[in-house]
Homo-oligomer: A and B are copies of this chain.
């Protein structure tokens, strides 16, 4: 049974949108931010805490889970929801980005990718068909096909070739998926830093009628302005009634700008990784909790924040925990950062709903949200 549906409630091709993802027995409002749990766990947090910070869908990684514990085991144990105890949504990334970012390990040919396991160095070969099967075994609700990601300095020729292969692989993934998937397979737009290549790729993908679309290969080192320009060249060409997911973007500023350009879904390791380094989001910027200036600071991370961390702990205590490398430090900072970002996105939704987005943008720019 096909368990995925997207309902567009407001907005069109290239404007801020409101929608709902219907996944299994859940409704998830968009725009939405998805915390990253690479190995089937959002680092440091329990499912209960994820629920409490407002997470509704999280991202995991097919490549990583394939290596450990293996998709067959996850399947045998009832799928990833039952395995992890997380009853919300699961999206799996394919591993295409890992192949790109661990470039020394990769060899890409027409059939698929070869890489060495980052765990034990073993040689692995994965085709687009393998990836769809792995993600289906894992039991994710939304799955991403294997794609070829490029960098900020990739030439136009190479970017075009990568996009072409991404399209070919998307078709093969689609065929493999139609036989087995009760999940939703998204098409991924690549095309490097070139608006026309992106536009062409978006139109090709759009024609394949995927349940949803992603924009990949952005936020890889380019200027923000460039990223927005490329979004403008891509997003309006995607089918308006399908969800659009901007991969790997998680800064409040970037999320807001992308929503303005019609994007619905986001993920990033930023809030969780920054938290573990002691850097936390606050309106107008961030705090580095280890800083000596917080030594005697009895304020919470953020005045008025309703997260567990801010309602119970001072900056001084958090600084102490970070200095002592107490695991509790990483947890409490992670709770705040995810709560901050998820609340930020929910405020964007409210602003779209109430037609107060201009005022919201102003409040955000002046450092008050």
Contacts and interface: CB of A to CB of B under 8 A. Distances in A.
A83 B314 CA distance: 8
A86 to B, nearest CB: 10
A198 to B, nearest CB: 35
Interface stretch (A15-23, A280-288, A319-327): A319-327
A73 interface: yes
Interface stretch (A121-129, A228-236, A328-336): A328-336
Most buried by B among A47, A73, A331: A331
* 9 smallest beta-carbon distances between A and B, as pairs: A44-B327, A39-B324, A69-B320, A85-B312, A41-B326, A41-B328, A327-B327, A77-B316, A83-B317
B43 A327 contact: yes
Contacts of A308: 46, 48
Interface residues of A, number: 38
A199 to B, nearest CB: 40
A351 interface: no
Interface string A286-310: 0000000001101000000000100
Contacts of A330: 327
Given A41-B321, A78-B298, A327-B327, 8 more contacts: A41-B328, A43-B326, A43-B328, A47-B312, A48-B308, A76-B296, A77-B316, A83-B316
